Structure 1
Amino acid sequence: MESVVKSSAVTPHKSKLARTLSKVLHVKSMTGIDGLKNVKVDVNFNNEGNMRNKEKEEEEELKKKMVIEALVSKVFASISTIKASYAQLQYAQSPYDPDGIQEADKFVVSELKDLSELKQCWFRKQFDFDPSPEGAIVTSELKELKSVTKTYRIMGKKFESQARFKDSEIMFLKEKLEEANKQNKEMFDSFNFPNFNLRNESIPPDRNKTQFFFERFNELKSVKAKEFLAFKPKSPFAKFCRVKYLRLVHPKMEASFFGHMKQRTNMVNGGEFPDDNKLFTSFGEMAKRVWLLHCLAFSFEPQVEIFQIGKGCRLSDVYMESVVNVNTNDDDDVAAALAVESEPQVCFTVVPGFKIGKTVLQCQVYLSQLLQQQR
């Protein structure tokens, strides 16, 4: 009886434990812990794969950009080298430098070949930059900077050469101006004398001086100098032309022009003037204008006085006027330069002035401040 009771008391306890274990095992087999772990690991692997793919794509895109940038840098470097070589080629033309021309030609041909190769690489999509695109970019930039520096250096030499040429031209023009001033002074020498200081020439005492000179003016003003000299070779105007021609035209100059000095000898002996000589024809027309001005000046009463202003004199509104009208000039810088200087100074006289009694005809002058402002 006791055995039956004991077995019945133990059996239910074992069966309850067995049922509990079977339920746990069943749940584990259906939705076990290992399955959840496997799901989480698979999700992590997928995320890491996507990140790696994105990084690879970004790296590839960056490489493509660097390759294109390196290619463009090489193109610009080659173009800069061609420009520098062309500048060298131009500079070597004058004065002629065959070595410089040959060197510049080699650079141009070499860079054109490089540009052609870059073009083919672009079309074929085959880029080989040694050691890397970044290194190629740096090398190209250095090459471009060297070419630009070379261009500026050549242009600097060219400007220096032009400046030297301008300086020599200025010196030549100054000498020419000085010679012209001497000749002009010679033409107007003795202008203040009624007879131009000519020998055996005087005003008839019974004639009115102003009327006498006015008749001389009317006699010559409408006639060509060549025709008047041919018609009156012994007139005062003819004597004036002889004296001024022999003073201004050097014998060597005349011999170099015509190969002889026959007409000079003829003029010294008081003979006729050459009528087919272009040099003397031009000289006669110039002398006519000086002679007419002289006659017109002595036709007034009181007499006309001519004057000019020397360099460094202060500007006077009574006797002078500037050739540049600063009041209506559009150049504000020139007006400002004159406004700063309370006493502008004369650089040189452009047109002489005249004084008739108390009436003054202003001479035209160029001011030194204007010349400095233009420089």
Structure 2
Amino acid sequence: MLQKFALAFKTKTIEFFADDEKEEDDEDKASISAAIDLDPGPEEIITGQRVVVLKPDPLPPPRKPDPETLILALFATISSFRAAYLHLQTAHSPLLPDAVRFADRAAVSHLRRLSDLKDSYFQNPNPSPRQVFSFSSHLQAQVQENQHLLRTFDAVVNRLQSDIDRKDAESAALKRSLWDIEAANSKLAKRLDRACAPPDGKVEALLSIGVFDSVLKDTCRVVHRFTRCLVDLMKRSGWSLDLVANSIYPNVDYAKAGHCPYAILSYIYLGMFRGFDSEGFSREGSDGIGLDGIDVNTRRMNSLTQFIEHSAVDPLELISGSSSCDFAKFCERKYRQLIHPGMESTLCRNSDHGESVWGTLWPSSPLYEPFVNMASSIWTLHKLAWAYDPVVEIFQVAGGTEFSMVYMESIVRGAVTMGSDHGKKSRPKVGFTVVPGFRVGKTVIQSRVYLNGLKEVVQFHV
């Protein structure tokens, strides 16, 4: 029994001490016989002896990890978590399910590792198996931290490379699209050259009523835009639109006060189109159609060429690059006719004109850009009109003329064309022409007029 007890606790030395030194030899023999007997009977009793068992030394209490090693382990674990989380984000775009699962497990394991480090710092009395640290030295912790940083950089590089590849693909697609557009533009340019210079000198294929009407509508939109800008300046400067309208067209019975800007719009239209029926539209004192000594085909080809060339340039760049060209002279002349110095000084007194001269078109003026665009549209329309055979004619209706549905159109939408005069039906009278009309061959493009006494007309029909 003593031998089994000694083997269980891995002891190698058993000493027996006798009370009487004289019986030492006999007791040694008895202890040897008892040790040999591996299974003594229960009736055997050993008396007069002490048994001393040497137990192994107890394990020392767990020590708190070295602070420096713990900090290095903390940094390394944080770096590992950052790398795993970055891999998790990268795996979502494009979506890679296996990579997502792997990165998710890695991130969770690093979070657990951080929890273990916290428990180790506070010396958890019951540490879990995960709390066995793998960092045996400062250098090993630094090596692992650097490895995780390299993984982070690798993920960033992979993402950047993916972005570069995507942008390279987009750039290649845009280059192919640009080549296709340039090829299509080249074909269109060749077709346009053939249309502008046909073998027999005819240009009827390009010139039609629809083309002129489309360019005219674009011109009207630009004129309306300039007029709105001018009216806004008048309002901010304290001008009375009623007084301005009455000074332009007195004794006109407006349907409502909001119709006064139609008089200003008419003033702009008729001023800009003055001299439209002259070949020298840009020159001073050129009135009436001048066809003497001009070959029809030459005139048509020159006008059509100028129409195409001017349509392809920016009017602001043209007038700033060449102040002595015909278009620049046209802009200066029309600006002086419409905006006299006293009017401009009142409207633009708060703007920075610098060293500009009143009555001269200047880039610092708030009217500069809208006016140049308006003048460019009318200039283009004039060149197109003189490419027709016969030349497109322009006309306007005098005030007091009876309304005609053939040549006129009311500029007020929904206005009626019949009124009453002392119980008798009569045609309404024209107050003034707003947009002039045009005659293209045998086709008439109606002028747009404001009807005088429109209020009474509306009351009669209601």
Q: Give the TM-score taking structure 1 as reference length.
A: 0.43
Higher helix share: 1
